[in-house]
Amino acid sequence: MAKIYRDEDINIDYVKNKKIAILGYGSQGRAWALNLRDSGLNVVVGLERKGESWKKAEEDGFKPLFTKDAVRDADIIVFLVPDMVQKNLWINSVKPYMKRGADMVFAHGFNIHYKLIDPPHDSDVYMIAPKAPGPIVRRMFESGYGVPALVAVYQNVSGSAFEKALAIAKALGCARAGVIETTFKEETETDLFGEQVILVGGVMELIKASFETLVKNGYQPEVAYFEVLNELKLIVDLIYEGGLVHMLKAVSDTAKYGGITVGKTIIDDHVKMNMVKALERIRNGEFAREWLKEYENGMPTVHKELEELRNSLIEKVGNEIRKMIFKKA
């Protein structure tokens, strides 16, 4: 079994008096900046322009700097802008201004694994990859818990890159849950696989397909929404709390039998073959090349699909239902 590092295994002093530049103040950037500051670390937020993120960081009590000024005397530089943006940010606003030997830190291995960024040979390069969306990284920290994270070292010039990665993971609250060592390759490939096949892609398409099937066959959209989307969270909560058997114990015997037998005919060998194909495209770099091209063309596919989703029945019905059921009585 993999070694799981917890708070008591980690010494935060490795990063205690270091100046940490958090580049980006979005999903992960905000969570990292706030959690690290609350853990007593010296954080500066670096941004490219005085836009929404700048305003948000100021509202949270930071004094953001332009990237080049934030990295000038930083000991640790954390790349928390979108993956497709990191290379240009590195070339134009970090590399020419950073202190020699400053650490380069990532929350996902994409740019290093697919060789978009070629880091200087005298820098420690490591990763802390929280296994959760940014707002949850912050929410769990505030409530005294944490989300798990993976840590990996790509370059260890100082000899203490791993200890620094663990220290940052602890300051993020991740070692309250558990931190596992991995490689940039393993993190990148499994993270992309997870988000494409289940967490983002798979779940979304299962929800859409089951909703459409019910509605096309004459059932009320609101009934379909409750059945395939709202209750999904409640069932996943049971799996999260206690595992698959725990969830099966909470549902009826009818649901157990139906789920066990029919589930396999939905997620059949054909679906499993598609999963292997998706993994293969990640491993041979085909997905990364396609995504780079999509990004360079202005993300037409992403914009088109989001527009279609915004106008879809499940979103319209869901928006109305959520207004009702989440309204405080």
Ligand X SMILES: CC(C)(O)[C@@H](O)C(=O)O
Q: Which residues bind ligand X (CB under 6 A)?
A: 133, 191, 195, 199-200
48 binds, among ligand X, Mg ion, ligand NAD, none (CB under 5 to 8 A by kind): ligand NAD
Q: Do the beta carbons of residue 214 and residue 224 sit within 8 Å?
A: yes
Q: Which stretch binds ligand NAD (CB under 6 A): 79-87, 115-123, 204-212, 280-288?
A: 79-87
Alpha-carbon gap, residue 79 to 46, rounded angstroms: 10
Active site residues: 108
Specify the residue, 27 or 312, whose C-beta has the smaller distance to ligand NAD. 27
Is 123 annotated to bind a ligand? Reply is no
Least spacing, CB of residue 135 vs ligand X, in Å? 10
Alpha-carbon gap, residue 22 to 14, rounded angstroms: 17
Which residue is nearest to Mg ion, using beta carbons? 191
Is 219 annotated to bind a ligand? Reply is no
Element (H, E) at 152: strand 149-155
Counting contacts by CB under 6 A, is residue 134 touching ligand NAD?
yes
Specify the residue, 137 or 228, whose C-beta has the smaller distance to ligand NAD. 137
Q: Do the beta carbons of residue 317 and residue 225 sit within 8 Å?
A: yes
Specify the residue, 14 or 106, whose C-beta has the smaller distance to ligand X. 106
Buried b (16+ CB within 10 A) or exposed e, 207-238: bbebbeebbeeeeebeebbeebbeeeeeeeeb
Amino acid, single-letter form, for residue 124? D
DSSP 240-259: HHHHHHHHHHHS-HHHHHHH
DSSP 116-128: S----TTS-EEEE
Is 155 annotated to bind a ligand? Reply is no
Is 86 annotated to bind a ligand? Reply is no
80 binds, among Mg ion, ligand NAD, ligand X, none (CB under 5 to 8 A by kind): ligand NAD
Least spacing, CB of residue 191 vs ligand X, in Å? 5
Alpha-carbon gap, residue 64 to 122, rounded angstroms: 27
Counting contacts by CB under 6 A, is residue 152 touching ligand NAD?
no
Least spacing, CB of residue 214 vs ligand NAD, in Å? 31
Neighbours of 327 (CB within 10 A): 7
Q: Out of 119, 133, 194, 221, which residue is the one contacting ligand NAD (CB under 6 A)?
A: 133
For the sheet with 42-47, list strands across it: 4-5, 179-181, 149-155, 125-130, 103-106, 76-79, 19-23, 42-47, 65-66
Enumerate residues 189-208 that contact Mg ion by CB under 5 A. Answer: 191, 195
Enumerate residues 17-36 that contact ligand NAD by CB under 6 A. Answer: 24-29
Least spacing, CB of residue 213 vs ligand X, in Å? 26
Could you tell me where the DSSP H helices lie in 129-229? 134-142, 161-171, 184-194, 201-216, 221-225
* Per-residue CA distances from 55 to 89, 122, 135, 271, 325 (Å): 20, 35, 17, 45, 32
Least spacing, CB of residue 192 vs Mg ion, in Å? 7
Specify the residue, 129 or 224, whose C-beta has the smaller distance to ligand NAD. 129
What are the residues binding ligand NAD (CB under 6 A)? 24-29, 47-48, 53, 80-83, 85, 89, 107-108, 129-130, 133-134
What are the residues binding Mg ion (CB under 5 A)? 191, 195
* Residue numbering of the annotated binding site for Mg(2+): 191, 195, 227, 231
